[in-house]
Amino acid sequence: MTILSRRPAEAPPTEGEFVESSTFEPMATTPQYRAPKAGIDPDREKSWLRRAMPVVFAHKRMFITSLVLSFVGLVIQVQIPKILQDAIQNAVVFHRTGLRGYIVIMLVLAVGVGIAGYISRYFLMRTAYEIEFDLRNIMYTHLSKMSFPFYDRVQSGQLISRANSDIRSVQMYLTFAPSILVQCSVALVAFGYMLSINVLLALVAMIPMPFVYFIGVEMRKRIFPVSWLIQARLADVATIVDENTNGVRVVKSFAAEQRELTTLAKSTTRLQWSYVKDADIRASFTPTVQNLPQIGLALILMFGGWLALGGRMPVAAIISFSLYVVMLQAPFQMLGQIIMMSQRAAASSQRIYEILDEQPTIVDRPGAVDLVDCRGDVRFDSVKFKYLDENPLVLDDFDLHLAPGETVALVGRTGSGKSTAARLLARFYDVTGGQVLIDRKDVRDLTLASIRGNVGIVLDEPFLFSVSIRDNIAYGAPNADLDDIVTAAKAAGADEFIRELPEGYETVVGERGYTLSGGQRQRIAIARTLLVNPPILVLDDATSAIDVQVELTIHGALRELMKGRTTLIIAHRLSTISLADRVLLMENGRIVADGTHAELMATVPLYAEVLAQGEREDGARLGTDGEGRDGAGGLAGFGMNPEPNGTWAGEDL
């Protein structure tokens, strides 16, 4: 892993001239986990089970070993009624031999069944966890490749549900259904022994079995839609819980706890209805499926007793037949379970495939090249963009050119498209029309990894992970030295408050970094980007939550770091705009004025109006939180003190 180094500004190349290096050194690290051996079959015409088979076959040796040993154990177990019949016939009835030999044989068989069952179960559980591991990694890998438009319209709770409960349902069926079928195969072996004893009595014992099949088919038809409903409503509950957990501060600020509890209660009531309906179907069919074999036992006792009384069948054979019928009961009891598992898995698989079948829209084009030796020449050429086809244009004939090493401030009203321009530069989205170029190359002709390795963005809403501050700063450069991390933190004005924390750089922040103030989070986010040291830097209102005095300190360091670096500043504060070489005013998705701050103030009334509005909004925001927003107090201003583990005493955040 190599940190990208900033190159000094160079003269832009002449038309048609490109300067490239041999390779691009990416920020990303090499995966440290074992990748799945196989994936889901992409053929949507196949059944859900056939599409999942490559994942199962990837573990076929261990899985087949488990099934074979399970079958061996069952075959051994089936021998016991036959041996018992011989023992009764030879040792008890006719006294031809003693019981000791039969007892030893049965003990040996019992030990064999135990050993085979233990090894079989061990390999079965290993296979189950391996398949679950693969399915989760397949899902997460796919989610990591999906583009921003996908996440704009999909609820995170739905994704969490499909990546957890739905995957578990599929995994349970893929691993345990074959095992149950193998156990059901004991019925065939037992039936073979029954035929060897008395064909007619064996056929009588199997009379109820066709009814079990037809009842199972009807049960399958009724339980599938309910299974789908259960999984969908589980996802709804997960969505509500996820949103309320992440938005707990909004909920509490509006005292909306009871309203949210009511919403959750309505959702769980719908889920409860689905579970009750599922239970009704099970209660209607499962007892019949499980108890039909009992009718076979009654027929054996009735018909077999008649044969025994007539001297056409030994009494010991009736006992053996009865034990075989008892062996048939367990498979038929599990038959109802496997039907329910199959329908739950079928519903869950379709929900999983809905995600896996959707392809990312922002991908590397065939023949895309790496952006290497980036000089930072940025151009927006007649760019048009809208987030959805039915939405109006956010950018309309947007033209902008940033020369290498130039710092430009982009100013405009809320919703004028400033942040959208930054997202297009990093190719979070593709333009609807026109081009975005870096070093005179369309970003769509460059690899995504190289673009994002050269374009660093600090957002106005900084996101921190629930790890140490050191790891948060080093997120883009995991192998960075502590000295480099501290240097970046000092440049962002974060070093001082970090060292005052209980464990300094090793302090673990709470979820999303909420154990820190807004300004502290922003400074860590700035340090995170500066550590990577990209040749193109975008500051999207990156100091909006920082106290003005602290911001001025940061600006001193930023001025040094911006030398030789192309920087796009999206701002509304005069102090931030002062960092720029020139200022651009946006209105209705396009540039309407270009010049220095003084020139625009003197000649463009709209510019002064936009700045005044921004200062009023900024003043209102800071007036609400004051120093508590950025100072050492943060949440501590409400009587809460940070604990060494990064949590807060007095409240579960």
Report the helix count and the strand count for the chain, using DSSP H and E: 23, 10
DSSP states along 322-355: HHHHHHHHHHHHHHHHHHHHHHHHHHHHHHHHHH
Q: Tell whether the model's pLDDT for residue 276 goes beyond 70.
A: yes
Question: pTM for this structure?
Answer: 0.70
Q: Return the closest-CA partner of residue 515 out of 641, 612, 397, 337.
A: 641
Q: Return the closest-CA partner of residue 210 out of 84, 75, 332, 382.
A: 332
CA distances in angstroms from 12 to 15, 403, 434, 439, listed in the order given: 9, 8, 21, 8
* DSSP at 154: S
pLDDT of 633 reads: 34
Q: Mind listing the domains of the chain with CATH numbers? A: 48-356 (1.20.1560.10), 378-551+566-638 (3.40.50.300)
CA distances in angstroms from 145 to 47, 150, 448, listed in the order given: 25, 10, 11
Terminal Cα-to-Cα distance of the chain (whole angstroms): 35
Lowest mean pLDDT among 32-36, 126-130, 305-309, 317-321: 32-36
Instruction: List alpha helices for 37-185, DSSP H.
Output: 48-57, 60-87, 100-145, 148-153, 156-161, 167-184
- Ranked by mean pLDDT, the top range of 264-273, 424-433, 505-514 is 424-433
pLDDT in tens, 333-370: 677 677 778 888 888 888 899 889 988 888 888 988 98
Beta carbons of 530 and 492 less than 8 angstroms apart: yes
590 Cβ neighbours under 8 A, 6+ residues apart: 395, 396, 397, 398, 399
Alpha carbon 19 to chain centroid, angstroms: 40
**Average pLDDT, rounded, for the chain:** 78
Q: Tell whether the model's pLDDT for residue 562 goes beyond 50.
A: yes
pLDDT of 550 reads: 66
Determine the Cα–Cα distance for residues 159 and 336; give it in Å rounded to an integer: 30
pLDDT in tens, 592-609: 989 888 888 888 888 888
CA distances in angstroms from 591 to 587, 594, 625, listed in the order given: 7, 7, 34
Lowest mean pLDDT among 292-306, 466-480, 562-576: 292-306
pLDDT of 336 reads: 66
pLDDT of 5 reads: 38
Determine the Cα–Cα distance for residues 216 and 586; give it in Å rounded to an integer: 67
Backbone angles phi, psi at 308, to 5 degrees: -65, -40
Classify strands 433-438 and 378-385 as parallel, antiparallel or unpaired: antiparallel
Beta carbons of 407 and 567 less than 8 angstroms apart: yes
4 Cβ neighbours under 8 A, 6+ residues apart: 25, 27, 453, 454, 532, 533, 534, 535
pLDDT of 623 reads: 52
Instruction: List alpha helices for 481-578, DSSP H.
Output: 482-491, 495-499, 518-532, 548-562, 574-577
Determine the Cα–Cα distance for residues 490 and 233; give it in Å rounded to an integer: 49
Determine the Cα–Cα distance for residues 269 and 518; give it in Å rounded to an integer: 38
pLDDT in tens, 237-263: 877 776 676 666 566 656 777 777 788
pLDDT of 245 reads: 65
Backbone angles phi, psi at 316, to 5 degrees: -60, -30
